[in-house]
Amino acid sequence: MKVKSIGNARYFITFIDDKTGWTEVRFLKNKSEAWEKFKEVKDLLERQSGCKVKFLQSDRGGEYIGEKFDDYLKELGIQRRLTVKNTPEQNGIAERKNRTLLDITEVL
């Protein structure tokens, strides 16, 4: 995001359920908050749907890679799917959703 949010967030992260298209957006002050936001959204989705998260697909951004994040996923049996470096088309749904969200915020 070019401008900080009211809560001083500089970044946002989107989580999209491939099956339903359900999208959750969280704002981040620092990219290091990504795994905490993932935990928050995972818990919400599992409570509301009654289904377990089985996969996490992401690019190879530093916010998604780390020992703490990896250990958490392994502990819960969540498989990680990482896209090939410099291939945003492998994350097409998320990339398109992010573009749409940014377009909307520019209008505001």
Domain-embedded: residue 60: yes
Expressed as residue numbers, the domain containing 70 is: 11-106
Structure token digits, residue 17: 């359920």
Q: What is the pLDDT along the chain (108 residues), one digit of tens a residue?
A: 566 667 788 888 999 888 888 899 999 999 889 989 999 999 999 999 999 999 998 887 777 778 888 899 999 999 998 877 777 677 777 777 777 777 777 655
Indicate which CATH number applies to the domain containing 33: 3.30.420.10
Domain-embedded: residue 5: no
Neighbouring CB atoms inside 10 A of 108's CB total 4
Burial of 34 (0-12, 13-18, 19+ CB in 10 A): buried
pTM attached to this predicted model? 0.77
Please calculate the CA angle 92-73-23 and round it to the nearest 5 degrees.
Answer: 40
